[in-house]
Structure 1
Amino acid sequence: MDPTVKFSGSGPTVMDWFAWTDVPAGQVAMGTPLDEIDEVLAGLPDLDVRRAWFVKETPRHVRQVAAFLITTHLVTNAQMREFTRRTGYAWQPIAADDHPAVAGHDDAVAFAAWLAERSGLEITLPSEEQWERAARGADLREYPWGDHFTPNHANMDRHSLGTTAPVGSYPKGASAFGLLDMAGNLDEWTATEYHPYPGGGPEVPVEETHALSRFVTRGGGWNHCRDAGRCARRHGVYQAPAFVGFRLSVTR
């Protein structure tokens, strides 16, 4: 079955309803060293970006991440539509069935909780460290596919389609573990509320009072410039309407 196109409840468990990627236990180098922030900015000379947006990803620190499963693709409109059909949950798609679902954080959590209840599995949104581990792997790549932004690898920046694309439309942009659309298409919710990383300096904001949600987003979307697609970039929802989607994770 192709889980990117049609949602089906015919399988023995919800694991059969999605394509999953198995991410082994290992370390991830989260974030960026403070002394490299200026270098990152220098590499984006054509963009109107601010240092304050990037210091949130400092300091770099290593975290051990337990093995987990994560959906290879963003959750689609077809999959969310089936959730609403079976439960009466109020949500409306804004694109075709095989496009990623634009959803609020509460919508994403409700879908994950429904699947968890049906399956008996601990299905949640990925944490920030799970997301970065799935995107970056064990190395220090700048983007999910490598160190340099490549236009045909993601639906974002100057080569954006101006809307979402069907999930998996950019196979050259596969991440370290083969996940698709980790940069571009839709920004992605995580389960992590924004807080400074341990050891963050005085430049790092303690909270983001201007954000419309306390939860961190990752990856950037079709409406973002390429800086938001960097593996280390900590993003958020700062204006409405918000074009944010989500993946699901299961801790092993």
Structure 2
Amino acid sequence: MTTAAGGEAADSGVDWVHIPGGILHRGTPLASLSAVAAAYADTGVPPQWFRKEAPRTEVRVPAFRVARTPVTSAQWELFAQATGRASSGASDDHPVIGVTWADADAFCDWMSARVGFDVRLPTEDEWERAARGDDDREFPWGHHYRTGLANLNDLGIGGTTPVGSFPDGASPFGVLDMAGNADEWTSTLYAPYPGAPADVPALETWAFDPHITRGGAFRHDRDLARCARRHGAYEADLAAIGVGFRLAADAEAAPHESVTER
């Protein structure tokens, strides 16, 4: 396998999924906010937390590539050994968690050097596009929540599971673990959507980090499994709250990598 520069590229161990360009039905309609809050009232989520999902907007997202699963502890270990960072201490096939945004970004730079093309974190819109597909589904697998399709609090596992353990919870493009297991960093800094309700905060000053996370982790309730749900790292203990990440790349990148077309 050679890079565009003609050098030998190391095997990245990344299963890339091609996400075609298309329209993302981003967010939640203003008129639906009350119903959404009522539907998840049992989780204890304050209704105002859902308001930063509004309004529903059609956004054209160019084609890109995304890793089928989050970065694993085994992949992180190679990076840690090369850069002097701490080992994750987790099983090889589990998602790495407890990773700061800066270290996730550094991992992308390290992987870019290994494979010979730019690897990065997905934008928030790319993440939602990979999870939601072409329609306005509520969850990666469809419109209704079903226990057992993602590693969330309702399963009572209390920790991560091997990546890809819930294949029936795949997104329309075949991307796995878009809900539960590890909450995932994006490259997008938090800001209200254009046209958001006036009471949506301009900044989340209480967040440990200003970047948006998506998908929720093993400790979260089903509201975090929703494709529209915008989240963040609100505690300093990133391992306890299950923060990890997955990789993305431009559509024209990785010409010599194995890519699945869906």
Counterpart of 2:102 (choices 101, 106, 113) is 106
The match for 1:94 among 60, 78, 89 is: 89
Aligned 8 A contact 1:26 1:67 in 2: yes
Q: Which residue of 2 aligns with 1:251?
A: 250
What is the CA-CA distance between 1:251 and the residue it aligns to? 0.9
Greater displacement, 198-207 / 210-219: 198-207
Matched positions, count: 241
Pair 193,132 (structure 1): closer, same or farther in 2 beyond 3 Å: same
Q: Which runs of 5+ in 2 are unaligned?
A: 1-7, 252-262
Deviation of 1:38 after TM superposition, in Å, equals 0.8
1:153, 1:13 → 2: CA distance?
36
Aligned residue in 1 for 2:191: 195
2:62 matched residue in structure 1 = 66
* Counterpart code for 1:100: P
Aligned residue number for residue 111 of structure 2: 115
- Unaligned residue ranges in structure 1 (runs of 5+): 1-11
Matched, 1:143 2:139: yes
Overall identity of the aligned pairs, in %:
47
Q: Select the residue among 213, 238, 241 that pairs with 2:237.
A: 241
- How much has 1:15 moved relative to structure 2? 6.5
- State the partner residue of 1:183: 179
Q: Equivalents in 2 of 1:91, 1:190: separation in Å?
A: 22
Whether 2:204 is the aligned partner of 1:208: answer yes
User: Contact (CA 8 Å) 1:128, 1:216: kept in 2 or not?
Assistant: yes
1:23 alignment counterpart = 19
Distance 1:15 1:176 in 2: 27
- What does 1:212-223 correspond to in 2, within 5 Å? 212-223=208-219
Residue 28 of structure 2 corresponds to 32
Superposed CA deviations along residues 198-226 of structure 1, whole A, max 9, x for unmatched, are 11121211110000000000000001011
1:156/1:185 contact within 8 Å kept: yes
Following superposition, the deviation at residue 14 of structure 1 comes to 5.4
Match of 1:77 among 73, 81, 90: 73
Indicate the residue corresponding to 2:120 in structure 1.
124
TM-score for the superposition, normalised by structure 1:
0.92
| Contact 1:33 1:58 (8 Å CA) reproduced | yes
- Checking the alignment, whether the CA contact within 8 Å between 1:219 and 1:230 is kept in structure 2 is yes
Counterpart contact for 1:14–1:115, Cα < 8 Å: no
- TM-score normalized with structure 2 length: 0.88
Matching residue's letter, 2:95: P
2:165 maps to which residue? 169
Measured after TM superposition, the shift of residue 119 of structure 1 is 2.8
